[in-house]
Amino acid sequence: MYPYSGNLAKDGRNTGIEVIILIITGLLLVLLLVLLLRKKSREPAAPAREEVKTGLRNCPLCGEVLKPGENVKSVLYPAAGNAPDRMMEIHGCPHCYPAGAPRRCPVCKKELQARDLVIARCFQKPGKTHVHVLGCTQCYSGSRHGH
């Protein structure tokens, strides 16, 4: 048997302080686990997008479901040099542009005026296009379209 150099009572039992420390450590670990699980359950689930349910898309400005054949009006500029992305102006869909349903910026949530538009970066890969909205002419500081 290996010699034990820890604090043991003369009869080989752990001292009371070691048992208390082990109990407190165990309780702290259980409390931490409970807090982490509770935090995850409180986080709101991401709202289900219509696209996931039906295969249809939503307008990023007014939220209307786009029927087959309806498109978002946008302008896609040529890439600068070897840039992996292209700049894009998003105006809206047939439901909100040029007039109709209120348009809101997906970033700042402000209602857009008729002259406002949304600025985005468009990344095109084989078989997939990803659009990252940067903001509107009211909130995107890199915009040359500001008032």
Report if residue 145 sits inside a domain. no
Report if residue 143 sits inside a domain. no
> Does one domain contain both 81 and 33?
no
Looking at residue 14, what is its pLDDT? 60
Q: What are phi and psi of 74, to 5 degrees?
A: -150, 165
The domain tally of the chain equals: 2
> Does one domain contain both 76 and 125?
yes
Looking at residue 95, what is its pLDDT? 92
Residues present in the chain in total: 147
Report if residue 55 sits inside a domain. yes
> Does one domain contain both 110 and 57?
yes
Looking at residue 3, what is its pLDDT? 58
Separation of alpha carbons 44 and 62, rounded Å: 22
> Does one domain contain both 123 and 64?
yes
Looking at residue 135, what is its pLDDT? 93
> Does one domain contain both 26 and 81?
no
Tell me the whole-structure pTM to 2 decimals.
0.56
Closest CA to 133 of 123, 143, 118: 118
Structure tokens at 7: 């604090």
Report if residue 147 sits inside a domain. no
Separation of alpha carbons 61 and 72, rounded Å: 9
DSSP-derived pairing of the beta strands 73-76 and 65-66: unpaired
Looking at residue 13, what is its pLDDT? 61
Q: Mean pLDDT for each consecutive 10-residue tract of the chain (147 residues)?
A: 56 74 92 81 50 64 90 89 88 89 92 91 87 90 53
Looking at residue 111, what is its pLDDT? 92
> Does one domain contain both 28 and 68?
no
Looking at residue 8, what is its pLDDT? 55
> Does one domain contain both 5 and 33?
yes
> Does one domain contain both 30 and 84?
no
Report if residue 102 sits inside a domain. yes
Looking at residue 118, what is its pLDDT? 93
Looking at residue 5, what is its pLDDT? 57
Task: Give, for 85, the enclosing helix (H) or strand (E).
Answer: strand 85-92
**97 DSSP β-pair partners:** none
> Does one domain contain both 1 and 62?
no
Closest CA to 137 of 62, 78, 61: 61
> Does one domain contain both 11 and 72?
no
Range of the domain at 1: 1-43
Looking at residue 53, what is its pLDDT? 42
> Does one domain contain both 37 and 68?
no
Looking at residue 99, what is its pLDDT? 83
Report if residue 107 sits inside a domain. yes
